[in-house]
Every structure is written in C-alpha cells, then in structure tokens.
Amino acid sequence: MSEEINSEVARNSEENRVHIKCGFVALVGRPSVGKSTLLNKMCGEKVAIVSKVPQTTRNAIRGIVNREQGQLIFVDTPGRHNSQKKFNKKLMEVSLRAVEECDIVLYVLDACRAPGDEEEETASLLVPLAEKTLAAVNKMDAPGADYKRTEEFISKNFPAFASSSAGGRILAVSANTGQGVEELLCALFDMAPEGDSLYGGEYYTDQETGFRIAEIIREQAINRLRQELPHSLYVDIADMEFKEKETKLWVRAFIVVERESQKGMVVGKGGEMIKTIRLAALKELKLIFDWKIDLDLRVKTGKDWRHNDHTLRKIIDR
C-alpha cells in the first residue's frame, strides 16, 4: 500500500515539476536584417553593436535571457554574405559554427527587402535544419514592410512549417518597437530543450570587458566614417588598468586602419573626428558600466590586416 502511495506521490510531483529549459539559439540571416538589434531587444540590454553598415557583427556574440521558464543563450552571428575574400570567409565560418552548435536557429529576415539570391542561399543552408528553425520577419514597423512577400518566401522554402506541429514557426517582429518580441521569446522557450541554466541569473552576456569596450568604440567609429572605412578598421585594446581608489578603468585603445592614408580620415581635421568618436564611445560605455572609464584613443596602421591570418584569428576567432 505504502509503495502505491509513494509511486502516486512520485507521479504527481513529476507532473507538477516545472520543466526548466535551457537552450542555445543562433541568430542567422543576411547582413543588416536586424539580428543584433533584435538580440539587444530580447536581452533588454545593449549586448551587440548596431549600424546601418552591412557586416557590422564579426563575432559570435552571446546574450543571455533569464526567465521563469529557464534560460536562453543567444549567439549573434555575422550576416551571411557570399564573397571569396579571406575576411568574409572567416565571418561565414563563425556563422556556420554557431548554426551547427545551437539547439535552435532563429532565422531573421527583413520585411522591407525582397528576397533575392542571397536570401535563397541562406534559406537553403537552413532547410536541412527546419526541425530546429524558427523564422522572424523583422522591421515590421518600417513603412516598406511586406510581411506577405516574406512569409510566402519562407513557406515555399520550408514546407515543413505548414504542418500543424510546426505551425507558428513564422513570427512578425520589430526589433525597434518590440512588437512580437514577447511572442517570439515564448515560442523559443517552447522549442528549447530541458536543462539547468548555464549562467547565473545576473548575467546578460558573457563578453569580456575589453571586448565590449572595443566593440562600442568600433560602433561609434563606423557610424561616423564613410566609404570603405567601416570595413577597414578594428579596435585594439592595448592596455587596461583598474584603479581601485578612483573606481576607474583606464583604457588605451587603437583604431587600426589598413592603410596610412586612412589615418587622417579617422583623426579628422584638427583631431575633430577621433575626439567625437571618443566622446560618443564614453557616453555609450557610461550606460553599460558602473565605473568611470578613462579612454586614451589613438589611430594606427595595421597594413592590410584583413589579409593577415594572425590578425584575423585574433579579432574573429575569439
């Protein structure tokens, strides 16, 4: 009798158990569809930098969302773009690795752009992974948004989404306004596997301080520079020291350009440009970190760094 009661108790407690989820979600899509903006919206914090310039993201950036249901670990990736250039191939390796390693693929599309060849290629890469894929049609707030066109494209490429069990795998969102983002998070938690959280509840990213500072400087630089410059630069943190007494972090960073001739454009007339970048970066960093930051920002040349395996490994394979 007592055995029966025990097994009944065990069954009830199993039924009542809250199934805690924990899953890795890779954000995949073409450049500039809004993957990083969406990541920031979902995390409620600025985790990844954003710009109008395609191929802003260069690394697998992790953002963490903690909810009652459990934990989602997002991996933002560089936009998928075809090119045989060494630099671009390296970015695509980052994206591919994230797709292979994740539990869920969040395929982000831009409602304002007609799907062309590049979108077809991105979709064909993800079709074999349809089981673990969810599509988000972003920029629904924009005047040119055409949900129907994008939805038709997804349905054509992912016939599996039409089956009832996979219903609701296409969501309309706006990373800018937050429209549909809550529904998206619920759908992702539904798909996530059960498991214990990997990070403590206070974490929203696992990025190191130096990397975050370098990224914010890069964001402020690429949002102000033109032509080939946004793609021609990276930020190197040369030195960092925390001054306990003043609760201040001292940082020396370099904006590294490919050619000597580009240095002048980053410095600007009378040093105006680098000064603006520095002040704008400090303003952003103030929103992220509790302590003060003392930033010594300079420019230097790393000749043809985009063709240098050593540098690419240093800044992309992190």
Q: Report in angstroms how near the CB of residue 26 gets to ligand GTP at its nearest.
A: 13
Residue 57 binds Mg ion, judged by CB under 5 A: yes
* Binding partner of 262, given ligand GTP, Mg ion, none, CB within 5-8 angstroms per partner class: none
- By CB under 5 A, the residues from 203 to 232 that bind Mg ion are none
The verdict on 32 binding Mg ion (CB under 5 A) reads: no
The least distance separating ligand GTP from the CB of residue 108, rounded to whole angstroms, comes to: 7
Least distance from C-beta 224 to Mg ion, angstroms? 18
Of 36 and 262, CB closest to Mg ion: 36
Minimum gap (Å) between residue 47 Cβ and ligand GTP: 11
Measure the CA dihedral 192/104/179/182, to 10°.
10
> Taking CB under 5 A as the rule, does residue 55 contact Mg ion?
no
List residues near ligand GTP by CB under 6 A.
29, 31-37, 50-52, 54-57, 78-79, 138-139, 141-142, 174-176
Shortest CB 83 distance to ligand GTP, Å: 13
Rounded to an integer, what distance in angstroms lies between the CA atom of residue 264 and that of residue 178? 40
- Least distance between ligand GTP and beta carbon 52 (Å): 4
Partner in contact with 155, chosen from Mg ion, ligand GTP, none, beta carbon below 5 to 8 Å by kind: none
CB of 32 or CB of 69, closer to Mg ion: 32
Does position 40 interact with Mg ion (CB under 5 A)? The reply is: no
- Closest to Mg ion by CB, 27 vs 192, is 27
Picked from ligand GTP, Mg ion, none, the partner binding residue 214 (CB below 5 to 8 A depending on kind) is: none
CB of 30 to ligand GTP, least distance (A): 7
Nearer to Mg ion by Cβ, of 61 and 184: the residue is: 61
DSSP output for the chain: -HHHHHHHHHHHHHHHS---EEEEEEEE-STTSSHHHHHHHHHTS--S---SSS----S-EEEEEEETTEEEEEEE-PPP-----HHHHHHHHHHHHHHHH-SEEEEEEETTS---HHHHHHHHHHGGGGGGEEEEEE-TTSTT--HHHHHHHHHHH-GGGGSGGGTT-EEE--TTT-TTHHHHHHHHHHHSPB---SS-TT-SB---HHHHHHHHHHHHHHTT--TTHHHH-EEEEEEEEEETTTTEEEEEEEEEESSHHHHHHHH-GGGHHHHHHHHHHHHHHHHH-SSEEEEEEEEEE-TTGGG-HHHHHHHH--
Nearer to ligand GTP among residue 50 and residue 75 (C-beta) = 50
Work out whether 36 is an interface residue with Mg ion (CB under 5 A). Answer: yes
d(CA 83, CA 98): 19
Q: Which residues of the shown chain bind Mg ion in the complex (CB under 5 A)?
A: 35-36, 56-57
